[in-house]
Amino acid sequence: MSEPQRKTTSVGLEKKQLILKSAENEFDQYSYGGARMQRIADRAGLPKANVHYYFRSKSELYNAVLEDVVGLWNQTFKTLDANHDPRMVLSEFVRMKVEFTRLHPRATRIFTSEMLHGAPHLSEKLNDQMNRWTQNRASVIAQWVESKKIAPIDPYHLIFMIWASTQHFACSEFQIRSVYQKSKLTRKDFADQSASLTTMVLRICGLEP
């Protein structure tokens, strides 16, 4: 908290995190091209030059935000490797993905926005990470289909369906709030979606009683 020797570094890191958080909000609201360094500085309560001290350019700052986003995803989903019961693995995946979207709507939207525009800033490393994850999950599902543990279904389309449906609650939050005539999505709204989506996935896989 107050070690004179490391104070500089520690405060620097805190300030860097503050800027990253402000940038996340700005990029979420305006996309890369519409984001303004001045507004990011204002959100953080800092002079603009201070932002440029920690991040040389807008591009470098955006890349840092994007790495955080993908890092958050990896941190949450790396452990989901079970060769357990399909019913349990699928239910748990849906539950975690909905929860991730609820807790990190901005990260979810920034990643989608990056895809939407053709991923012009996504590094090959991050892209490969995401691809390997998808391919590994798809091969697990394919094995379940082959061994008749679940009903026949295209593994990629099943993954895309779960992915897209959960992202939707963050990416089209405005539309959903508008249809529901609510000013804010509640914890219950997400719990309901989690339950519905689990039911849908289990029925698709022929795993419902």
Partner DNA sequence: GTCTATAAGACGATAGAC
Partner DNA sequence: GTCTATCGTCTTATAGAC
Judged by CB under 8 A, does residue 126 bind a second copy? no
The three state secondary structure string of the chain is CCCHHHHHHHHHHHHHHHHHHHHHHHHHHHHHHHCCHHHHHHHHCCCHHHHHHHCCCHHHHHHHHHHHHHHHHHHHHCCCCCCCCHHHHHHHHHHHHHHHHHHCHHHHHHHHHHHHCCCCCCCHHHHHHHHHHHHHHHHHHHHHHHCCCCCCCCHHHHHHHHHHHHHHHHHCHHHHHHHHCCCCCCHHHHHHHHHHHHHHHHHHCCCCC
Judged by CB under 7 A, does residue 38 bind DNA? yes
Residue numbers 54-93 binding a second copy by CB under 8 A: none
Residue numbers 6-25 binding DNA by CB under 7 A: 8-9, 11-12, 15
Which C-beta is closer to DNA: that of 47 or that of 206? 47
Residue 168 CB-density burial (10 A; 0-12 exposed, 13-18 middle, 19+ buried): middle
Cβ at position 4, least distance to DNA in Å: 12
- Quick one: what does residue 192 bind among a second copy, DNA, none, with the CB cut-off 5 to 8 Å set by partner type? a second copy
Which C-beta is closer to DNA: that of 43 or that of 177? 43
Site mask for a second copy (CB under 8 A), range 136-175, x = bound: ---------------x-xx-xxx-xx-xxx-xxx-xxxxx
Which C-beta is closer to DNA: that of 36 or that of 157? 36
Q: Residues interacting with a second copy, by CB under 8 A?
A: 28-35, 109, 112-113, 115-119, 127, 130-131, 134-135, 151, 153-154, 156-158, 160-161, 163-165, 167-169, 171-176, 178-180, 192-193, 196-197, 199-200, 203-204, 206
Query: Could you list the residues that contact DNA (CB under 7 A)?
Result: 8-9, 11-12, 15, 35-38, 46-50, 52-53, 56-59
